[in-house]
Amino acid sequence: MREQELTVTLAEQYGEGLMVVPVGNDLHVRVRLESVHEGIYVSTEVDTEAVGQCGRCLDEFTQPVEVEFQELFAYSSDEASESEVHDDHVDLEPLIRDAVVLSLPFQPVCRPDCAGLDPETGERLAEMPDNELRDRVDPRWSALAGFTTDQGAGNPAAGYTEER
């Protein structure tokens, strides 16, 4: 068994969309290699930091990324596979890339309670005082804006009468 700790600087970006691990970021990798009958069993832990935009308010933020995986690299197999021992070496790069990219959120948020942006002004709702938040009426419902619960049964002005 062998254990190694490595720090690798990314030569290419991991991920696309709102959240990525950019070029130049460091990956801190802890690897444990164990010889087993079928091949080499690899346990890996990877730590890095992703940069992205909040899917609600569009602010930039960073987020730690921590992934773990295990893989058996076979000495020989009948099928072509990247999880195979080649000349007493194993290639962890595709597995690390896949694990990191798959751990990135599809719709990242800067914090769980992020309110997002005001649809009319585009301002961040978290920065707006509560008194500035106003009731908005969809223009399609504007004809009902004057209707209140005070109008109705027993109010002759509303056109309703109670029959006894």
Decide: 52 and 60 in contact? Cβ < 8 Å. yes
* Position 72 confidence tier, pLDDT thresholds 50, 70, 90: confident
- Per-residue pLDDT, 129: 67
Within-domain flag for 163: no
Mean pLDDT of 32-55: 91
- Say how far apart CA 65 and CA 67 lie, in whole Å: 7
- Per-residue pLDDT, 131: 46
Within-domain flag for 26: yes
Q: What is the mean pLDDT of the chain?
A: 81
- Per-residue pLDDT, 142: 76
User: Between 139 and 64, whose confidence is greater?
Assistant: 64
| Degrees to nearest 5, angle at CA 49 with 58 and 123 | 15
Q: Residue 78 pLDDT > 60, yes or no? A: no
Phi, psi of 140 (to 5 degrees): -70, -20
AA identity, residue 10: L
- Per-residue pLDDT, 54: 92
Q: Which residues are 9's β-sheet partners?
A: 26
Within-domain flag for 16: yes
DSSP state letter for 103: H
Tokens coding 5: 């700790």
- Say how far apart CA 24 and CA 13 lie, in whole Å: 8
Give the β-pairing of 39-53 and 60-74: antiparallel
Within-domain flag for 15: yes
The pTM is what?
0.69
AA identity, residue 30: R
Give the lowest-confidence range in 20-29, 30-39, 78-87, 96-105.
Answer: 78-87
Domain that holds residue 133: 1-155
Mean pLDDT of 47-70: 94
* Position 109 confidence tier, pLDDT thresholds 50, 70, 90: very high
Which residues in the chain belong to E strands, given as ranges? 2-9, 19-20, 26-36, 39-53, 60-74
Within-domain flag for 57: yes
* Position 116 confidence tier, pLDDT thresholds 50, 70, 90: confident
Query: In the chain, how many domains are there?
Result: 1
